[in-house]
């Protein structure tokens, strides 16, 4: 770790009804990876947006390279060498990779843009990062992981001195995360200051040098990563210790009836001859690597994508599910992994989103019963501890993790018997995570049945009663939790 490059002191910021930042401090040194931790809505993203000129601060000082600075827009921050890789990807899908990377500072040949030069420069960047992407490819054709790499390449191309990563790993596969860490270590060796935001405790121990913890918009403290344990950090984040022990035995009573039976399901390239059963009160974990076909299986089952063949039985009766409406009618709910695209309407309020899937329960005559809508929504806001000033807040103004809770509320309001949770805790902090786990356990105990798709091994081992492992569209194993280990799951996940 080198000398201090950036100091934020006493940063204060309020939105209508929300005191998002309450005198927060942060210090970043050259050649360090500095973790910024805190629960959903703690204010991490907001602090970084204040730093990079996206939001203006109400008070406090920012000192950068020895001088007090204030950036009025992201461009000024970029020019000074502070860049951010945002939590939500910010890509223009219709432009090429190189055009995205150099947007706002194109190479020119007179009055015309020099695309050839931009492609060449992008190629140089990718070589430097050791990644293989065609700069002339349209951004929209890349996988999420590759798009993330492009964001990083874009950040680096700014001659950055400070790079902020806001939850870069949330949508990446294990292999891609490894690649990302390699890049981050390279940058650290080049004496850049790096701020790293993530909810994955394991990563913090692996990649960061120091940790600053925030809670409820306030500054809690800064630790040296080597000198503290995971529990120390969690304790600072949530003010209590959370234990995450794996489940050792199934909690489903023997002889519980089969509520859902899927036989020889085939759909597209990613679902090949998948069969499984789901019992009443069971949490059935779906494990596998990214691209194993788990989401595709769920979507075919839910009627969101067409299926070629296969039978579905609910409570022993064969059913024909052709559309999500059919699925919902049969009591199936699906929480998408991609909430922006399928889960919520960001321009609507928390209450409107929560009741959207089940509006007919909130009608009195032809009108929506606003009071009932608000009351029920408030109940779930409380139960999920969603951080929002009111149920009338627009969802777009919530932090990433809290948006996820709204999606959850939506399906809980619907009161489905079979719930498919696709990556239910992606981007959710440890405290909220354990609340969602509690809730899933409660739901199972009430007799609801849950399919949980998860890429996090700890989550699979902690929640599931039984585990289905998939690889390349096929089911490769079905393991009872009593026999499940990280090793035998990983083995099945790579079984071709």
Partner 1 sequence: MQTTSKSGNAFTNNPIVKAIGLQRIVVVLAVILEAVLFSILSPAFRQYATVVSILDYSYYISFMAIGVTFCLISGGNDLSVGTGMICYALAGGFLVQQMHMPVWVGLIVTIAMGLIFGVINGVMVAIMNLPPFIATLCTMLITRGFGSIITGGMAVSWPSRSSPDGWFRSMFKIINNGKIIPVGFLIVLLAILIMSIVLNKTKVGRYIIAIGSNKEAARLSGVNVIKYQMMAYIISGFFAGLAGIAYAATFSSSVAPGTGAGLELDAIGGAIIGGTSMTGGSGSIIGTLLGVFVMSLLKTGLPYVGLQANWQQIITGIVLIVAIYIDVLKNKHTA
Ligand X SMILES: Nc1ncnc2c1ncn2[C@@H]1O[C@H](COP(=O)(O)OP(=O)(O)OP(=O)(O)O)[C@@H](O)[C@H]1O
Question: Does 112 participate in binding partner 1 (rule CB under 8 A)?
Answer: yes
Helix (H) or strand (E) holding 432: helix 430-445
Choose from Mg ion, partner 1, ligand X, none: what does 397 bind? Cβ within 5-8 Å by kind: ligand X
Q: 291 vs 324, which CB is nearer to partner 1?
A: 291
Using the minimum distance from each CB to Mg ion, give the nearer residue, 381 or 428. 428
Which residue's Cβ has the minimum distance to Mg ion?
45
- Asked if 40 touches Mg ion (CB under 5 A), the answer is no
Between residues 297 and 393, which has the closer beta carbon with respect to ligand X?
A: 393
- Regarding 93 and contact with partner 1 (CB under 8 A), the answer is yes
SS3 at position 441 = helix
Contacting Mg ion (CB under 5 A), which of 45, 295, 393, 425?
Answer: 45
Q: In this complex, which beta carbon is closest to Mg ion, that of residue 38 or of residue 281? A: 38
Distance (Å, whole) CA 374 – CA 368: 11
Residue 43 contact among ligand X, Mg ion, partner 1, none, beta carbon within 5 to 8 Å by kind? ligand X
Q: Per DSSP, what are the bridge partners of residue 247?
A: none
Tell which positions 338-357 bind ligand X, by CB under 6 A.
Answer: none
The helix or strand, by DSSP H or E, that contains position 467, with its residue range, turns out to be: strand 466-471
Nearer to Mg ion by Cβ, of 250 and 402: the residue is 402
Q: Give the per-residue SS3 of 31-68.
A: CEEEEEEECCCCCHHHHHHHHCCCCCCCEEEEEECCEE
Q: Scan residues 358-387 and list those touching ligand X (CB under 6 A).
A: 387
Measured distance CA(84)–CA(194) in Å, rounded: 10
What the block records as the tokens of 224 is 């040296």
Binding mask 333-372 toward partner 1 (x if CB under 8 A, else -) reads: ----xx----------------------------------
Say whether 271 sits in a helix, a strand or coil: strand
CB of 266 to partner 1, least distance (A): 17
E-strand spans in 280-342?
A: 283-287, 309-314, 317-319, 332-335
- Which range, of 1-9, 13-21, 245-253, 318-326, touches ligand X by CB under 6 A? 13-21
Burial class of 490 by CB neighbour count within 10 A (0 to 12, 13 to 18, 19+): middle
Determine contact, residues 29/60, Cβ cutoff 8 Å: no
Chain positions 58 to 117 lying near Mg ion, rule: CB under 5 A, are: 87
Which range of residues in 112-120, 209-217, 246-254, 468-476 is near partner 1 by CB under 8 A? 112-120
Residue range at the interface with ligand X (CB under 6 A); choices 36-44, 91-99, 313-321, 405-413: 36-44
Is the Cβ of residue 151 or residue 465 nearer to partner 1 in the bound state?
A: 151
Of 383, 434, 433, 438, the closest CA to residue 412 belongs to 383
By the rule CB under 8 A, 295 interacts with partner 1: yes
Q: Mask 412-431, x = binds ligand X (CB under 6 A)?
A: -----------------x--
Question: b/e map of 302-326 (b: 16 or more CB within 10 Å)?
Answer: bbbbebeebebebeeeeeebeebee
User: Which C-beta is closer to ligand X: that of 237 or that of 274?
Assistant: 237
Nearer to Mg ion (CB atom), residue 37 or residue 274: 37
Binding partner of 346, given Mg ion, ligand X, partner 1, none, CB within 5-8 angstroms per partner class = none
As a whole number of angstroms, the distance between CA 268 and CA 75 comes to 44
Least separation in angstroms between CB 209 and partner 1: 28
Calculate helix-pair angle for 400-414, 370-384, nearest 10 degrees: 120
Q: Which of 99, 74, 92 is CA-nearest to residue 84?
A: 74
d(CA 439, CA 417): 14
* 322 secondary structure, DSSP code: -
**Does 90 sit near partner 1 (CB under 8 A)?**
yes
Q: How many residues bind partner 1 (CB under 8 A)?
A: 33
How far is the C-alpha of 170 from the C-alpha of 213, rounded, in Å?
19
Contact call for residue 41 and ligand X (CB under 6 A): yes
Task: Return residues touching Mg ion (CB under 5 A).
Answer: 45, 87, 400
Task: Return residues touching partner 1 (CB under 8 A).
Answer: 54, 73-75, 78, 86, 90-95, 99, 103-106, 111-113, 115, 140-144, 171, 269, 290-291, 295, 337-338
Task: Return residues touching ligand X (CB under 6 A).
Answer: 15, 18, 20, 38, 40-46, 87, 387, 397-402, 429
């Amino acid at each position: 770790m080198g000398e201090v490059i950036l100091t934020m002191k006493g940063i204060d910021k309020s939105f209508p009804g929300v005191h998002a930042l309450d005198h927060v401090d942060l210090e970043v040194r050259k050649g360090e990876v500095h973790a910024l931790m805190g629960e959903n809505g703690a204010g991490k993203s907001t602090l970084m947006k204040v730093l990079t000129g996206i939001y203006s601060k109400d008070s406090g000082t920012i000192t950068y390279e020895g001088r007090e600075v204030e950036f009025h827009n992201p461009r000024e921050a970029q020019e000074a060498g502070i860049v951010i890789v945002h939590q939500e990807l910010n890509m223009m899908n219709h432009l090429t990779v190189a055009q995205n990377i150099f947007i706002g500072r194109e190479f020119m040949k007179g009055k015309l843009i020099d695309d050839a030069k931009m492609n060449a420069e992008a190629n140089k960047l990718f070589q430097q990062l050791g990644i293989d992407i065609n700069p002339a490819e349209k951004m929209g054709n890349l996988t999420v992981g590759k798009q993330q790499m492009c964001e990083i390449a874009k950040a680096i191309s700014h001659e950055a001195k400070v790079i902020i990563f806001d939850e870069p790993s949330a949508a990446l596969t294990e292999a891609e995360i490894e690649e990302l860490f390699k890049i981050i270590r390279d940058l650290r060796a080049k004496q850049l200051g790096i701020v790293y935001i993530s909810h994955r405790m394991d990563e913090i121990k692996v990649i960061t040098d120091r940790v600053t913890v925030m809670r409820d918009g306030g500054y809690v403290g800064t630790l040296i990563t080597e000198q503290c344990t995971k529990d120390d950090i969690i304790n600072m984040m949530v003010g209590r210790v959370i234990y995450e022990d794996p489940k050792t035995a199934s909690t489903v009573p023997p002889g519980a009836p089969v509520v859902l039976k899927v036989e020889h399901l085939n759909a597209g390239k990613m679902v090949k001859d998948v069969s499984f059963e789901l019992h009443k009160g069971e949490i059935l974990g779906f494990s596998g690597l990214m691209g194993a076909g788990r989401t595709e299986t769920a979507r075919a089952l839910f009627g969101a994508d067409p299926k070629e063949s296969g039978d579905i039985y609910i409570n022993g009766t064969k059913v024909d599910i052709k559309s999500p409406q059919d699925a919902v009618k049969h009591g199936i709910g699906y929480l998408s992994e991609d909430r922006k695209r399928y889960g919520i309407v960001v321009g609507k309020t928390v209450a409107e989103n929560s009741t959207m899937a089940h509006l007919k329960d909130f009608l009195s005559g032809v009108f929506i019963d606003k009071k009932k809508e608000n009351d029920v929504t408030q109940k779930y806001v409380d139960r999920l501890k969603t951080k929002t000033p009111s149920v009338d807040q627009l969802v777009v103004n919530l932090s990433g993790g809290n948006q996820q809770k709204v999606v959850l509320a939506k399906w809980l309001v619907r009161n489905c018997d079979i719930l498919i949770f696709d990556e239910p805790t992606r981007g959710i902090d440890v405290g909220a995570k354990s609340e969602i786990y509690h809730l899933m356990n409660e739901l199972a105990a009430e007799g609801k049945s849950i399919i949980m798709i998860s890429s996090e091994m700890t989550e699979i081992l902690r929640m599931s009663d039984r585990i289905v492992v998939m690889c390349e569209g096929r089911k490769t194993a079905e393991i009872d939790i009593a026999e499940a280990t990280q090793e035998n799951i990983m083995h099945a996940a790579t079984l071709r």
